[in-house]
Amino acid sequence: MSKSKGYAALAPKAPLAPYSFERREPREHDVVIDIKYCGVCHSDIHQTRDEWSDYQDESIFPMVPGHEIAGVVSAVGSKVTKHKVGDKVGVGCFVDSCRTCTECQRGLEQYCSVQTIWTYNGRDKEGNPTYGGYSDRIVVDENYVLHMPNNLPLDACAPLLCAGITLYSPLRQWEAGPGKKVAIVGMGGLGHMGVKLAHALGAEVTVLSQSLKKQADGKRLGADHFYATSGPETFTKLAGSFDLIINTVSAKMNWNEYLSLLKVDGTLVVVGLPEKDVPIAAFSLTAKRSRLAGSQIGGIAETQEMLDFCSKHGVACDIEVVPIQKINEAYERVLKSDVRYRFVIDMASLAKD
């Protein structure tokens, strides 16, 4: 075991504070990563505040969050072939899975039917808690480590590992591309990547945001249209417009209203994870043979495909880099939708504590 330092919530809803813990000694297939940057996902806030207790068995505290990890390989185990010391690498929302079930065999490790081992707030195969990327280093099996784009800044690519893949996967699954009308609901960390990726895939992109405050940014990121959901005519004007709507909103909202914006056979994909159930009227689905679907991040192969796509198309995230000492302030600003569009922690700041 070796010492690692980071920031943790010591108890549910506690502010994050400096915390020291142990990482495992690298095994034959392990990669040791010096973490340079870690994105701040709204899921980090939900989990450190234990907001998903209705849907999860347990939350493990102290909790070191962080699953948008970008760093540099500092050591490798004797049998590692996929990565070498000095490589720019990334780790997303999970660090292992059973590797043998049908889902793992299909490259859908995030839906492993045995156990997806989450990067934090999970337990490894020995039953020990996992600790995430708000920390100086991490030890991960080489098969769950991604190659980061070499032509783009590492800090702006960190959020691709959750925000990027969470939008890329449903955009590909439901075939966003030329001739398709796609709406992205909520332009936060996930949503702004949805705009960039849907645009890069060639779709006609509409943003549905609470207000018009982010309109100029939306257009700059690649949106063709931008509407405020608070506008009195938005839902009547856009009724029956979209092939695909991806809802990234973290709060409970009226999904029936969004279903009314689909064309016949259109799909509303939920990726935002509010803490409470959302009621759906049967009529909202039957009226246009609509589909209501969900999607959770993406598998390792698809995440690498997304990173390579971003590298080719010059797509990275719009970020605000913060020292780790400002993490609690950053959380409050995320909750107020006051982030343009993802906070990324500069891990060099850990040395200042």
293 scored as a contact of ligand NAP (CB under 6 A): no
Residue whose C-beta lies closest to ligand NAP? 188
Q: How many degrees, rounded to 5, is the angle at CA 67 between CA 105 and CA 302?
A: 35
162 scored as a contact of Zn ion (CB under 5 A): yes
Which of 28/332 has CB closer to ligand NAP?
332
171 scored as a contact of ligand NAP (CB under 6 A): no
**Single residue of 63, 139, 145, 190 touching ligand NAP by CB under 6 A:** 190
260 scored as a contact of ligand NAP (CB under 6 A): no
- Segment near ligand NAP (CB under 6 A); pick from 20-28, 113-121, 250-258, 312-320: 250-258
215 scored as a contact of ligand NAP (CB under 6 A): no
Look at residue 112 and give the partner it binds from Zn ion, ligand NAP, none, a contact being a CB closer than 5 to 8 Å depending on partner kind. Zn ion
Query: Both tokens of residue 48?
Result: 């450190």
**Single residue of 251, 264, 281, 348 touching ligand NAP by CB under 6 A:** 251
> If residue 12 lies in a helix (H) or strand (E), which one and from where to where?
none
Cα 70 to Cα 2, 159, 282, 300, distances in angstroms: 20, 9, 43, 15
Which of 73/271 has CB closer to ligand NAP?
271
196 scored as a contact of ligand NAP (CB under 6 A): no
Q: How many degrees, rounded to 5, is the angle at CA 252 between CA 317 and CA 165?
A: 30
295 scored as a contact of Zn ion (CB under 5 A): no
* Shortest Å, Cβ 211 to ligand NAP: 7
Is the Cα dihedral 205, 246, 198, 194 positive or negative? positive
Long-range contacts of 213-222, Cβ-Cβ distance < 8 Å, separation of 24 or more: 214/187, 217/187, 217/192, 217/318, 217/340, 217/341, 218/187, 221/192, 221/195, 221/196, 221/318, 222/195, 222/196, 222/198
Look at residue 228 and give the partner it binds from Zn ion, ligand NAP, none, a contact being a CB closer than 5 to 8 Å depending on partner kind. none
Helices (H) and strands (E) in the chain, counts: 11, 17
C-beta atoms surrounding 6 within 10 Å: 28
> By the criterion CB under 6 A, which residues form the site for ligand NAP?
41-43, 46, 162, 166, 186-191, 209-210, 214, 248-251, 253, 271-273, 295-297, 334, 337, 339
